């Protein structure tokens, strides 16, 4: 089976970049990305590709090359479904905020809506690919919906989870560690798997393309994110012990990272992990374990989340305690709001929760982030619903310039590890601040000795 037309439902952080790279590497395949959000599609079609809705290094260049040739963004969902041989489902699967499983289980309502729309529109056999992160055995539910439409169309369901890290998504797509494709072990399932393998084989070595059954593929994604988040919580737990004992968490991380069995990645102490995946996927894993009565398994993974929340709370408490146990009406500047560098994604960013704690203490927050807008920052705070929109506006002001944001501040908190922060004239920043001037580094990207020599009272994670 040769694939010539692909449709992706969902033009977000996964669907947009993934389809752009497929289109670039497979000029013989027509790739159409559809979404009901008209503004999002309009932004993807902006003639200036620097204005596309997702910031990822290298993405705008790829979109510029492929868009209009074989990459299209559209709101005509049913037309794209009808024409495509392969349909990727790449819609949001947030944590449920209602009913059974509230606060833990994945909300699959958008997945079901996609399945029902595909079932309604499809007139020919289709391959449906799960690209969203989903609980194990979701494919079973999708297949049940698709196979009971009564229109005689045959569907093959594949699981093809993404393993992208925001900030390096384009690099991850162009040079993946692996491509994972799960499907049925039936002859028809094998045909579908091989068809998708052939798409990726246009630029990925076949020895990096793994094929499994559907359930193993679905669970592998949750497991990968759980293991990565576990490493972050582990080093953050050690950072607190380092503070108490006089050890240096960076030296500890370097020492253990040189052990080939452990390795150096994801051993950087920080104010906690954020993003759309880690917390959501671990909570989903906890819920699945509990639903099977595996309470010890659930408790084990839930501790990763507990430690992460503790680290964020600990960081905001450190700021209050260091500033003489009061931050009321003091200006505290946040450098960074995105959950990590090289992305404009703020979902579950530690900055949101640290800011929320400090606003509760009546601090005045100034924010500078090179890629996150003031409207987005306000939206993130309003989403918490811990205070009125008016109070958030009064307490949080955003700036387009870091030097202006830091002027007259009592303290600075570095919440995102943007490279540009290491290049600043910190003497100039220090001279513009209230004295004593405090600097809290939640990402351990700045040099403590140099900053202390300027005059800052420096507090880093694990210091």
Residue in 150, 78, 161, 69 with CA at minimum distance from that of residue 113? 78
CA-CA distance, 4 to 124, in Å (whole number)? 14
Catalytic residues: 277
> 267-303: buried (b, 16+ CB within 10 Å) or exposed (e) per residue?
bbbbbbbbbbbbbbbbbbbbbbbbeeeeeeebeebbe
CA-CA distance, 19 to 24, in Å (whole number)? 8
Per DSSP, 220 falls in state H
CA-CA distance, 156 to 178, in Å (whole number)? 22
CA-CA distance, 319 to 250, in Å (whole number)? 21
Backbone angles phi, psi at 416, to 5 degrees: -135, 145
- Give strand ranges (E) for 312-395: 331-335, 364-368
Going by C-beta distance under 8 Å and a sequence separation of 6 or more, which residues neighbour residue 456?
426, 430, 437, 438, 439
| Cis check: omega of the bond before 111, within 30 degrees of 0 | no
Going by C-beta distance under 8 Å and a sequence separation of 6 or more, which residues neighbour residue 245?
none
- CA dihedral (397, 400, 401, 406) in degrees, to 10, reads 10
Q: How would you write 115-134 as a 3-class SS string?
A: HHHHHHHCCCCEEEEECCCC
Backbone angles phi, psi at 305, to 5 degrees: -70, -45
95, 284 Cβ separation under 8 angstroms: yes
Question: Per DSSP, what are the bridge partners of residue 457?
Answer: 438
CA-CA distance, 16 to 3, in Å (whole number)? 19
| Cis check: omega of the bond before 436, within 30 degrees of 0 | yes
- Degrees (nearest 5) of the Cα angle 99, 103, 106? 80
């Amino acid at each position: 089976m040769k694939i010539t037309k692909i449709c992706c439902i969902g033009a977000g952080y996964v669907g947009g970049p993934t389809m752009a790279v497929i289109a670039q590497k497979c000029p013989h395949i027509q790739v159409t990305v559809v979404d009901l959000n008209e503004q999002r599609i309009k932004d993807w079609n902006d003639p200036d590709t620097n204005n596309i809705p997702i910031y990822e290094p290298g993405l705008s260049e790829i979109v510029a090359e492929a868009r209009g040739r074989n990459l299209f963004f559209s709101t005509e969902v049913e037309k794209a479904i009808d024409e495509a041989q392969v349909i990727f489902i790449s819609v949001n699967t947030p944590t449920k905020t209602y009913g059974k499983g509230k606060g833990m289980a994945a909300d699959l309502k958008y997945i079901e809506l996609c399945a029902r729309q595909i079932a309604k529109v499809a007139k020919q056999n289709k391959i449906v690919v799960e690209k969203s992160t989903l609980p194990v055995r979701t494919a079973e539910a999708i297949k049940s919906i698709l196979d009971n439409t009564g229109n005689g169309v045959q569907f093959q369901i594949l699981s093809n989870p993404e393993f992208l890290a925001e900030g390096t998504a384009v690099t991850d797509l162009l040079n993946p560690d692996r491509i994972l494709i799960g499907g049925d072990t039936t002859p028809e399932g094998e045909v579908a798997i091989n068809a998708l393998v052939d798409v990726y084989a246009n630029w990925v070595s076949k020895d990096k393309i793994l094929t499994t059954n559907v359930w193993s593929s679905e669970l592998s994604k949750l497991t990968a994110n759980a293991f990565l988040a576990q490493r972050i919580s582990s080093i953050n737990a050690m950072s607190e012990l380092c503070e108490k004992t006089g050890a240096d968490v960076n030296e500890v991380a370097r020492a253990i990272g040189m052990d080939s069995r452990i390795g150096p990645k994801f051993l950087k102490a920080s104010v906690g992990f954020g993003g759309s995946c880690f917390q959501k996927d671990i909570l989903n894993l906890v819920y699945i374990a509990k639903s099977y009565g595996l309470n010890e398994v659930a408790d084990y993974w839930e501790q990763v989340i507990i430690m992460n929340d503790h680290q964020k709370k600990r960081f905001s408490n450190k700021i209050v305690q260091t500033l003489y146990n009061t931050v009321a009406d003091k200006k505290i500047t946040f450098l960074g709001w995105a959950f990590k560098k090289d992305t404009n994604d703020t979902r579950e960013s530690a900055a949101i929760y640290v800011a929320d704690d400090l606003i509760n203490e009546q601090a005045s927050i100034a924010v500078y982030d090179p890629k996150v807008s003031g409207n987005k920052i306000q939206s993130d705070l309003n989403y918490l619903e811990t205070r009125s929109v008016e109070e958030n506006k009064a307490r949080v002001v955003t700036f387009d310039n870091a030097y202006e944001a830091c002027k007259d501040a009592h303290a600075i908190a570095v919440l995102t590890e943007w490279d540009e922060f290491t290049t600043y004239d910190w003497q100039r920043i220090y001279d513009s601040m209230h004295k004593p001037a405090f600097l809290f580094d939640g990402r351990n990207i700045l040099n403590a000795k140099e900053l202390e020599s300027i005059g800052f009272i420096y507090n880093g994670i694990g210091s």
